[in-house]
Amino acid sequence: MGVTLVFGAAGQLGQCLQQLGRERQLTNLIFLPRTQANILDEAALQSVFTQYRPTYLINCAAYTAVDKAEEEADTARRVNRDGVENLARLCGEFGTTLLHVSTDFVFAGTGNQPLIETDEAAPISVYGRTKLEGEQVIPAHTGQYFILRTSWLYSRYAGNFVKTMLRLGQERSEVRVIWDQLGTPTYALDLADCLLHIIDSGSTAYGLYHYSNEGVASWYDLAVAVFELSGLPTRVVPIRTAEYPTSATRPTFSVLDKTNVKAALGLAIPHWRESLKACLRQLA
């Protein structure tokens, strides 16, 4: 099996891939240091591709500061669109299969039915728009790609909602959490496992897929579950989105339908509560 390069190795998904790489002793997974892994530096990328001639490339690199992106649209676009195009172009040149991670934020989230891959993408934030532009530039350069849209990522690594709730639960007797946004929390270790499964299986079912854990939750439901499963007595007060204004508008309903990814890859996807338990065990 050839080499798999991972870009964005320092983020939470990248760190989950590193964890699985260590556990499974995967010597062909190459996690590039930041000096080599700047997806905006075309000369450096050319040199990396020439050196490693990768069979697969997993792109976890992204501008993900959703609210900050409203003020830094150019920076977000450079990373989420231009950087992705640089990678896709080289993947096309070198015959490398690209595994790229996208987001539920490409949807407006105004409906009430689980979203399928062919539903209209109509992002309502700079982050969502730039991530959609990143998806759209890939097919012009290569046909060998898997784009996985995911939602509400958390893990033991980096900053995320679950870790924030655990910290607030130690500091406060009560937290106020939004109940009128619905989606699915996704354990980044499960997504990392899915990415490695694509490589291990040698699948050529290229295309766009949705991947999140099973089930549906609000942020309120997730917070309640975090405190319940970790034995913290913190009270969760449900609030509306309007009571917690943010720079970027978020989708109200972004539950992803996983029918296609399960069929194409033969996956069994855990329910979000089961995966949350697994993450909390690691954090403990």
Q: Does 223 reside within a domain?
A: no
Task: From residue 225, give the alpha-carbon distance in Å to each of 94, 186, 236, 276.
Answer: 46, 14, 10, 8
Q: Does 238 reside within a domain?
A: no
pLDDT digits (tens, 9 = 90+) for 146-160: 999 999 999 999 999
Domain extent at residue 100: 4-158+186-213+255-269
Selection from 137, 128, 135 nearest residue 73 by Cα? 128
For residue 240, the model assigns a pLDDT of 97
Q: Domain of 11: which CATH number?
A: 3.40.50.720
pLDDT digits (tens, 9 = 90+) for 73-113: 999 999 999 999 999 999 999 999 999 999 999 999 999 99
For residue 37, the model assigns a pLDDT of 86
DSSP 71-116: T-HHHHHIIIIIIHHHHHHHHHHHTPEEEEEEEGGGS---SSSPBP
Q: Does 23 reside within a domain?
A: yes
Q: How many separate domains does the chain show?
A: 1
Q: Does 241 reside within a domain?
A: no
Task: From residue 267, give the alpha-carbon distance in Å to each of 98, 147, 154, 186, 196.
Answer: 20, 16, 20, 15, 12
Q: Give the start-end residues of each E strand in 128-258.
A: 145-150, 153-154, 174-178, 182-183, 186-187, 207-210, 217-218, 235-239
**Cα gap 94→266, rounded to integer Å:** 28
The mean per-residue pLDDT over the stretch 41-62 comes to 96
Q: Does 225 reside within a domain?
A: no
Q: Does 41 reside within a domain?
A: yes
**Per-residue pLDDT for 270 more than 90?**
yes
> How confident is residue 35, by pLDDT bands cut at 50, 70 and 90?
confident
The answer to whether 127 is a known catalytic residue is: yes
For residue 33, the model assigns a pLDDT of 84
**Per-residue pLDDT for 144 more than 80?**
yes
**Cα gap 12→60, rounded to integer Å:** 9
Mean model confidence pLDDT for the chain: 97
Who contacts 14 (Cβ-Cβ below 8 Å, separation ≥6)?
Answer: 6, 7, 8, 31, 60
pLDDT digits (tens, 9 = 90+) for 160-195: 999 999 999 999 999 999 999 999 999 999 999 999
For residue 17, the model assigns a pLDDT of 98
For residue 34, the model assigns a pLDDT of 81
User: Hey, what are 261's tokens?
Assistant: 């990814």
**Cα gap 148→57, rounded to integer Å:** 13
**Cα gap 229→76, rounded to integer Å:** 36
**Per-residue pLDDT for 1 more than 90?**
no
Q: Does 163 reside within a domain?
A: no
List 52, 56, 63, 127, catalytic entry? 127
Q: Does 53 reside within a domain?
A: yes
pLDDT digits (tens, 9 = 90+) for 217-266: 999 999 999 999 999 999 999 999 999 999 999 999 999 999 999 999 99
